[in-house]
């Protein structure tokens, strides 16, 4: 830790937040979100278009000379906070962060230019539950064609470009059209996973070594996922507080009962902690200072906090929270899936045991 | 008005005129106060220069580099953190000139006479009476949890001056002379074996009216300044990674592999993460204060620290196994300084139990967060319009 991390939001970051929030307010109403999850197209194409073509957000992490914005992980984190608030079904994390980081590591400039516009959506074909540094299944590389089946690939059904790790240690790019993508019935309705079946897919291009590209991609994914989880937890807290001020039982607002006030105050405290940890991870990814520890701390904290926030929201909304029509379940499902995504809190604690020298017996 | 560069050269000039190596410590501190370099955000003539609070770091760095003596702030924390801002805000010019200089130099130690056996969380229900006799107030009552009372020259005191109005309205704020013959200080022994605090019995203590701070009956409002500054000073500290309670247990874990178990490992890692998250929360709060945007996070920091300290020290005692059966020393002492991490694990475990009680219980702080930060409805009140003398007790 050479310098102190900047844990605040800059004015530009706040302006970006406001713009994204306005845009999502126009696109992501609860009823529309829920209806979309039951359609054949769970992703919100219109919202994605507005975020990418309208605001250029797909290229945030891509240098300007490759048609990107040349922004930092700090800005991407702010975008994710807002997306998390809505559990928005757009592939920002999977394409504009994870796939983008893998391509940056490989120096695949032409593909980065395509991703920057948002018209091409990328997906790294490593199961969503994989922690940075963990092993992952690969496709067989036989005479230049890819074979095999990779499961748990987030947002694959919406992707145009697949990045596939091969059993020869390479990372391959191929168009989604040359693979069969089978949606898996997913716990998280707004970030569904899919099976990618490669049956001798030809036209795959070797971009570079898979290990460093996947590691970099998953580390950035894990670190910035904490900001999505922060946004989600903040939504759960805010909505629950709002509801408990309105809802009356026993001739009083339910939010006046001390048992509930204390629960919400405890939750607030956890969200405040997550904000500091998520900001720290975003800043560390930006500066490259102390990044492994900052990401592991953020992920060891974020999963449990977001899940608890979503669970508390459900419980404290009472019966309405248990219904399909109320959006609380979308957030609970996202929070629970997020707690597995890019490594569980436990996996990140194990990583910390090595990083900060608190080794197992 | 005063910028960092000007302040730096001012401090260097001061150091040249008062070389720390050859200047008596107290002379140095008095001169520093008179030069306005004590607390630069205080007004000129009262130890400051009317500068921004954040510029104090510039002065401190210069003085530290020159090996200058300090005023041992931990010994006089109540004076600096609580009495001084209250005297500054509500004191008369005469009071400010009389009290602030020896307070800052540490020549006069201060203590706080607020809590009572019958007024803990409900501090405004306090029953210590102050009755006016001409230009003097005669005070009778009992205070408790008073650190430094046995070494203090002065106390900030709140007492009931009107029992016939609702409790918040009948309180007045005084400066109490701890050498008055009616002040009796008795050590209050705690579960750690030592007496860090005192009970203070006040019997016909006579306080001249010119030692009153603020208006008669306005003491509750004056006390808010005192209590608010207590919280600000908590948020201002910068802690390194593994600072605080997580430090000793992490060191023990590394140095003594024979103590490690899988269960303790899981719990330690969880607590290590929590400690780091709380540290970052504090750092974020500090950064917000530095740019003049204090966040509501401060209200939560004490809650988080209390829980963390208790859980970490509890695990530490357990981790030590057979050694956890022992305690370093039950001897009754009256320490002048409180160091939560200075003694062994058993002490840390017992002392940290107080963290969720002192300076506002965790239960009250949760109410404060729920009401002031989240805007949830206040607790139903049955005491608001009742005269203090008619309250249930």
Query: Tell me: the pLDDT tens digits for B39-56?
Result: 999 999 999 999 988 788
Tell which of A272, A346, A347 to mutate to test the B interface (max B CBs under 10 Å): A272
Helix axes A328-338, A291-316, angle to 10 degrees: 150
pLDDT at B338 over 90: no
pLDDT at B236 over 80: no
Q: Which of B230, B283, B318, B336 is catalytic?
A: B230
Q: What residue of B is the nearest CA neighbor of A290?
A: B241
Query: How much is the pLDDT for B116?
Result: 97
Residues of B in contact with A279 (CB under 8 A): 280, 284
Backbone angle region of A251, left / alpha / beta, with phi > 0 → left and psi within -120 to 50 → alpha: left
Q: Are residues B190 and B237 in the same domain?
A: no
Query: How much is the pLDDT for B232?
Result: 55
Q: HEC profile for B3-38?
A: CHHHHHHHHHHHHHHCCCCCCCHHHHHHHHHHCCCC
Is B184 tagged catalytic? Answer: no
What is the average pLDDT across A195-213?
94
Query: How much is the pLDDT for A2?
Result: 47
Contact A353 B269 (CB under 8 A): yes
Chains A, B: CB pairs < 8 Å? 127
Helix axes B298-319, A258-287, angle to 10 degrees: 90
Query: How much is the pLDDT for B235?
Result: 45
What is the average pLDDT across A68-86?
97
User: Is B389 part of any domain?
Assistant: no
pLDDT at A218 over 60: yes
Query: How much is the pLDDT for B165?
Result: 97
> Predicted confidence band at B157 (pLDDT cuts at 50, 70, 90)?
very high
Spatial separation of the C-alpha atoms in residues A343 and A244, rounded to whole Å: 34
Terminal CA-CA length for chain A? 27
Residues of B in contact with A244 (CB under 8 A): 376
> Predicted confidence band at A191 (pLDDT cuts at 50, 70, 90)?
very high
User: Is B113 part of any domain?
Assistant: yes
- Which residue among B272, B283, B363 places its CB closest to the CB of A352? B272
For the stretch A316-325, pLDDT in tens is: 999 999 999 9
Query: How much is the pLDDT for B226?
Result: 86
Token pair belonging to A291: 């990044």
Residue B366 touches partner A, C-beta closer than 8 Å: yes
- Say which CATH number the domain at B190 has: 2.40.110.10
Q: Are residues B209 and B228 in the same domain?
A: no
Q: From chain A, which residues contact B within 8 Å (Cβ)?
A: 1, 4-8, 241, 244-245, 252-253, 255-256, 258, 260-262, 264-266, 268-269, 272-277, 279-280, 297, 300-301, 349-350, 352-353, 356-361
> Predicted confidence band at A195 (pLDDT cuts at 50, 70, 90)?
very high
Is the CA virtual torsion A156, A162, A168, A169 positive or negative?
negative
Say what percent of chain A tops pLDDT 90: 94
- Which residue among B278, B366, B380 places its CB closest to the CB of A266? B366
Residues of A in contact with B284 (CB under 8 A): 7-8, 275-276, 279
Choose between B393 and B119: higher pLDDT.
B119
- Cα angle A59, A307, A339 (rounded to 5 degrees) comes to 55
Q: Are residues B134 and B237 in the same domain?
A: no
Q: Are residues B239 and B362 in the same domain?
A: yes
User: Is B155 part of any domain?
Assistant: yes
Residues of B in contact with A251 (CB under 8 A): none
Kindly list the domain boundaries of chain A, sorted by start residue.
11-94+104-119, 140-210, 212-355
- Say which CATH number the domain at B248 has: 1.20.140.10
User: Is B26 part of any domain?
Assistant: yes
User: Is B329 part of any domain?
Assistant: yes
Token pair belonging to B29: 């501190």
Listed residue (B184, B191, B187, B157) closest to B173, CA to CA: B157
> Predicted confidence band at B2 (pLDDT cuts at 50, 70, 90)?
low
Token pair belonging to A241: 């507080």
What ipTM score was computed for the predicted complex, to two decimals? 0.96
Token pair belonging to B284: 């974020």
Say what percent of chain B tops pLDDT 70: 97
Q: Are residues B31 and B114 in the same domain?
A: no
Query: How much is the pLDDT for B237?
Result: 63
Query: How much is the pLDDT for B339?
Result: 74
> Predicted confidence band at A28 (pLDDT cuts at 50, 70, 90)?
confident
Query: How much is the pLDDT for B53?
Result: 83
Residue where a domain terminates, one of B12, B42, B70: B70
Instruction: Tell me the residue length of chain A.
Output: 361
Q: Are residues B45 and B168 in the same domain?
A: no
Contact B273 A300 (CB under 8 A): yes
Contact B277 A353 (CB under 8 A): no
Contact B366 A253 (CB under 8 A): no
pLDDT at A239 over 90: yes
Query: How much is the pLDDT for B215?
Result: 97
Query: How much is the pLDDT for B230?
Result: 64
Residue where a domain terminates, one of B198, B216, B234: B216
The reported pTM is 0.93
Query: How much is the pLDDT for A1?
Result: 41
Is the CA virtual torsion B310, B313, B319, B325 positive or negative?
negative
Query: How much is the pLDDT for A301?
Result: 98
Residue B65 touches partner A, C-beta closer than 8 Å: no
Q: Distances from the Cα of B14 to the Cαs of A14, A89, B39, B64, B135, in angstroms? A: 43, 63, 15, 13, 43
What is the average pLDDT across B281-295?
83
CB within 8 Å of B313: residues ≥ 6 apart:
B245, B249, B345, B348, B349, B352
For the stretch B183-233, pLDDT in tens is: 999 999 999 999 999 999 999 999 999 999 999 999 999 999 888 776 555
Query: How much is the pLDDT for A200?
Result: 86
Residue B273 touches partner A, C-beta closer than 8 Å: yes
Backbone angle region of A136, left / alpha / beta, with phi > 0 → left and psi within -120 to 50 → alpha: beta
Domain, as residue range, for B60: 3-70
pLDDT at A137 over 50: yes
* Contact of A301 with B277, CB cutoff 8 Å: yes
- Cα angle B330, B333, B335 (rounded to 5 degrees) comes to 125
Query: How much is the pLDDT for A188?
Result: 97
Say what percent of chain A tops pLDDT 70: 99
User: Structural domain tally of chain B?
Assistant: 3
Q: Are residues B330 and B365 in the same domain?
A: yes
What is the average pLDDT across A276-294?
97
Residues of B in contact with A262 (CB under 8 A): 363, 366-367, 370
As a CATH number, domain A212-355 is 1.20.140.10
Spatial separation of the C-alpha atoms in residues A128 and A124, rounded to whole Å: 9
Residues of B in contact with A5 (CB under 8 A): 280, 283
Domain A140-210 in CATH 3.30.70.920? The answer is: no
What is the average pLDDT across A221-239?
98
Buried b (16+ CB within 10 A) or exposed e, B321-346: eeebeebeeeeeebeeeeebbebbbb
For the stretch B303-315, pLDDT in tens is: 999 999 999 999 9
For the stretch A343-360, pLDDT in tens is: 999 999 999 999 999 999
Instruction: Tell me the residue length of chain B.
Output: 393
pLDDT at A252 over 60: yes
Contact A361 B270 (CB under 8 A): no
* Contact of A270 with A308, CB cutoff 8 Å: yes
B residues 193-252 lying closer than 8 A (beta carbon) to A: 241, 250
Contact A360 B265 (CB under 8 A): yes
For the stretch B362-380, pLDDT in tens is: 999 999 999 999 999 999 9
Spatial separation of the C-alpha atoms in residues A227 and A234, rounded to whole Å: 10
Q: Are residues B269 and B335 in the same domain?
A: yes
pLDDT at B335 over 60: yes
Spatial separation of the C-alpha atoms in residues B275 and B312, rounded to whole Å: 9
Query: How much is the pLDDT for B233?
Result: 52
User: Is B62 part of any domain?
Assistant: yes
As a CATH number, domain A11-94+104-119 is 1.10.540.10
Query: How much is the pLDDT for A51?
Result: 97
Contact B366 A265 (CB under 8 A): yes
Residue B258 touches partner A, C-beta closer than 8 Å: no
User: Is B104 part of any domain?
Assistant: no
For the stretch B165-183, pLDDT in tens is: 999 999 999 999 999 999 9
Unique residue bearing structure tokens 């009755």: B131
Residues of B in contact with A252 (CB under 8 A): 377
For the stretch A139-166, pLDDT in tens is: 999 988 999 999 999 999 999 999 999 9
Listed residue (B46, B174, B48) closest to B100, CA to CA: B46
Residues of B in contact with A269 (CB under 8 A): 300, 303-304, 369
Spatial separation of the C-alpha atoms in residues A348 and A293, rounded to whole Å: 9
* Contact of B252 with B265, CB cutoff 8 Å: no
Query: How much is the pLDDT for B213?
Result: 97
The DSSP element (H or E) to which A170 belongs, if any, is strand A170-175
pLDDT at B234 over 70: no
Spatial separation of the C-alpha atoms in residues B54 and A53, rounded to whole Å: 44
The DSSP element (H or E) to which A243 belongs, if any, is helix A210-246
Residue B90 touches partner A, C-beta closer than 8 Å: no
């Amino acid at each position: 830790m050479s310098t102190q991390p900047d844990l605040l939001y800059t004015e530009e970051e706040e302006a970006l937040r406001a713009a994204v929030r306005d845009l999502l307010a126009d696109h992501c109403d609860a009823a529309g979100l829920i209806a979309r999850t039951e359609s054949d197209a769970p992703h919100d194409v219109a919202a994605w278009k507005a975020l990418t073509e309208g605001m250029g957000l797909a290229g945030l992490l891509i240098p300007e000379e490759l048609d990107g914005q040349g922004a930092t992980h700090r800005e991407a984190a702010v975008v994710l906070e807002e997306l998390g608030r809505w559990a928005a079904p757009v592939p920002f994390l999977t394409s504009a962060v994870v796939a983008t980081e893998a391509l940056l590591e490989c120096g695949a400039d032409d593909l980065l230019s395509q991703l920057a516009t948002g018209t091409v959506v990328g997906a790294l074909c490593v199961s969503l539950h994989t922690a940075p540094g963990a092993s992952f299944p690969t496709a067989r590389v036989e005479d230049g064609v890819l074979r095999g089946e990779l499961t748990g690939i987030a947002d694959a059904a919406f992707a145009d470009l697949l990045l596939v790790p091969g059993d020869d240690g390479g990372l391959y790019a191929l168009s989604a059209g040359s693979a069969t993508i089978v949606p898996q019935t997913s716990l998280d309705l707004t970030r569904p996973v899919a099976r990618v079946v490669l049956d001798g897919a030809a036209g795959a291009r070797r971009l570079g070594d898979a290990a460093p590209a996947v590691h970099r991609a998953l580390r950035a994914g894990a670190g910035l996922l904490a900001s999505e989880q922060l946004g989600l937890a903040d939504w759960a807290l805010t909505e629950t507080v709002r509801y408990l001020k309105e809802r009356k039982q026993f001739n009083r607002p339910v939010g006046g009962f001390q048992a509930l006030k204390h629960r919400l105050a405890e939750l607030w405290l956890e969200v405040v902690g997550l904000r500091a940890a998520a900001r720290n991870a975003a800043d560390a990814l930006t500066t490259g200072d102390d990044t492994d520890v900052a990401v592991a701390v953020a992920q060891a904290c974020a999963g449990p906090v977001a899940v608890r926030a979503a669970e508390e929201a459900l419980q404290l909304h009472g019966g309405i929270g248990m219904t399909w029509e109320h959006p609380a379940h979308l957030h609970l499902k996202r929070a629970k899936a997020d707690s597995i995504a890019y490594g569980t809190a436990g996996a990140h604690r194990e990583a910390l045991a090595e990083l900060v020298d608190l080794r197992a017996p | 008005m005063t910028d960092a560069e000007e302040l730096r050269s001012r401090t260097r000039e001061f150091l040249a005129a008062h070389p720390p190596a050859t200047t008596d410590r107290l002379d140095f501190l008095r001169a520093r106060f008179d030069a306005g370099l004590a607390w630069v955000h205080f007004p000129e003539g009262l130890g400051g220069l009317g500068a921004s609070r954040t510029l104090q770091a510039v002065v401190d760095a210069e003085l530290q580099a020159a090996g200058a003596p300090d005023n041992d702030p931990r010994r006089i924390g109540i004076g600096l953190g609580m009495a001084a801002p209250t005297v500054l805000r509500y004191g008369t010019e005469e009071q400010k000139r009389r009290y602030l200089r020896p307070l800052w130099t540490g020549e006069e130690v201060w203590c706080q006479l607020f809590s009572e056996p019958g007024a803990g969380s409900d501090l405004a229900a306090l029953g210590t009476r102050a009755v006016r006799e001409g230009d003097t107030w005669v005070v009778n009552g009992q205070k408790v949890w008073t650190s430094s009372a046995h070494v203090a020259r002065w106390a900030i005191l709140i007492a009931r001056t009107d029992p016939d109005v609702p409790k918040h309205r009948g309180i007045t704020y005084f400066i109490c002379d701890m050498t008055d013959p009616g002040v009796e200080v008795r050590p209050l022994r705690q579960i750690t074996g030592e007496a860090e605090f005192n009970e203070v019995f006040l019997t016909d203590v006579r306080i001249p009216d010119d030692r009153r701070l603020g208006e008669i009956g306005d003491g509750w409002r004056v006390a808010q300044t005192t209590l608010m500054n207590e919280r600000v000073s908590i948020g201002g500290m910068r802690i390194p990674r593994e600072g605080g309670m997580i430090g000793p247990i992490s060191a023990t874990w590394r140095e003594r592999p024979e103590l490690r178990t899988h269960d303790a490992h899981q719990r330690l890692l969880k607590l290590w993460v929590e400690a780091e998250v709380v540290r970052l929360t504090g750092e974020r709060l500090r950064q917000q204060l530095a740019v003049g945007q204090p966040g509501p996070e401060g209200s939560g920091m004490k809650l988080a620290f209390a829980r963390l300290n208790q859980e970490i020290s509890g695990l530490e005692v357990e981790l030590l196994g057979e050694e956890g059966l022992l305690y370093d020393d039950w001897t009754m002492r009256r320490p002048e300084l409180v160091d939560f991490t200075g003694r062994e694990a058993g002490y840390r475990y017992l002392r940290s139990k107080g963290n969720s009680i002192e300076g506002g219980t965790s239960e009250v702080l949760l109410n404060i967060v729920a009401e002031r930060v989240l805007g949830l409805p206040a607790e139903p009140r049955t005491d608001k319009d009742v005269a203090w003398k008619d309250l249930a007790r």
